[in-house]
Structure 1
């Protein structure tokens, strides 16, 4: 019997956008993942919590964005966790809940270069697979070398994803809203409507 293969998409999702969804779907198809868990961060160590929208907004927007895909699921484990949330704690928790599953953590190339700054990154690299999305204007040879070096040194399982290079960022979307510009086609229509209704990112 084959192991259940679960993808993990983590992020502040402030807001979630079509780039996230495209990356998730290409990962699901390319690596034959059974499902993908979207996990909005609670209190990430690398960001000031005061700069992040309230949990309920980010939860609602993520739920709206993934509701049309039966392979996507929303997890609140980081939102509900007290204190600073670390990826390794999330992975350990999920592995204890899904003992027979194989996990694939989806991240961008910029995060792979900084992974040595993550808490217990050496252990983390041994606990799950990693799917890395290329970024626009990134050096592909440099990325391949980074992947190979980590795989060799830590016996990790890091894979580069072949997918469209979608240059959308949550920061860009927030700035467009503050400047009164359209975000149509950058986020799902349901998320756009939610942002408009709740007047998020207006200040």
Structure 2
């Protein structure tokens, strides 16, 4: 049975920080693979600032190239929207009964976990690998047996920062993979 880490995100756009986290989880933990699940619409986020989901999926594919043990997934594109993590997990378990799924999230998401649909079920049924985000901590949840705090390098790059920088025509070449930057420029994404 393979142990698959599920890294959910809008990836709007995907950036170096996301890739470092995925790479750390795939190579420095006991996970066999990491699936970067592009979320069409996170129920807790504003949909207006989202690039088209197929563009975000394409950028994720471009960013990963032929990365070993990390792949982009459009699994949530085929589910009812907005998609809640618990529903996605149930569908994944039905589709891939021989896999063991683990959630990957930042400590900022861990802080809001109690707002998630059926979060108690998630905590009971799934392990959660948490990467640190500066200024976010939940000591009570961090000591839960399902929660594994990792030593993933701190990444303070955000997609919001990058969207704003692109809109202001700043040079972001080292924040994004070159192929992703070319795609964004070619499509004129995040310009207005």
Aligned to 2:142: 147
Q: Which residues of 2 match residues 82-121 of structure 1 at below 5 A?
A: 82-121=80-119
What is the deviation of 1:88?
Answer: 0.5
* Correspondence 1:185 to 2:180: no
Q: TM-score, normalization: structure 1?
A: 0.89
Aligned-partner SS, 2:173: coil
Query: 1:1-203 to 2 correspondence within 5 Å?
Result: 3-136=1-134, 138=135, 142-148=137-143, 151=144, 156-203=145-192
Q: Please give the secondary structure, in 1, of the residue aligned with 2:92.
A: helix
Uncovered stretches (5+) of structure 2, i.e. residues with no partner: none
The Cα of 1:98 is off from its aligned counterpart by 2.1
Q: Is the 8 A contact 1:42 1:55 kept in 2?
A: yes
Distance (whole Å) between structure 1 residues aligned to residue 168 and residue 100 of structure 2: 43
Q: CA deviation at 1:15?
A: 0.2
User: CA-to-partner distance for each residue in 1:36-84, whole Å, 9 max, x for gaps?
Assistant: 1111112221123222111111011011111230211222121232321
Q: CA offset at residue 23 of structure 1? A: 0.6
Q: Is the 8 A contact 1:131 1:158 kept in 2?
A: yes
Number of residue pairs matched by the alignment: 192
- The 1-side partners of 2:41 and 2:79 are apart by 8
Q: Deviations over 1:76-121 (max 9, x none)?
A: 1212323211001111111122222221211110100110000010
1:38 match: secondary structure = strand
Inter-partner Cα distance in structure 1 for 2:182 and 2:163: 14
Contact 1:42 1:80 in 2 (8 A): no
Question: What's the Cα RMSD here?
Answer: 1.5
Uncovered stretches (5+) of structure 1, i.e. residues with no partner: none
Looking at structure 1, the residues matched to 140 and 28 of structure 2 have their Cα atoms a distance apart, in angstroms, of: 21
TM-score normalised according to structure 2 size: 0.94
In 1, the alpha carbon distance for the partners of 2:157 and 2:41 equals 23
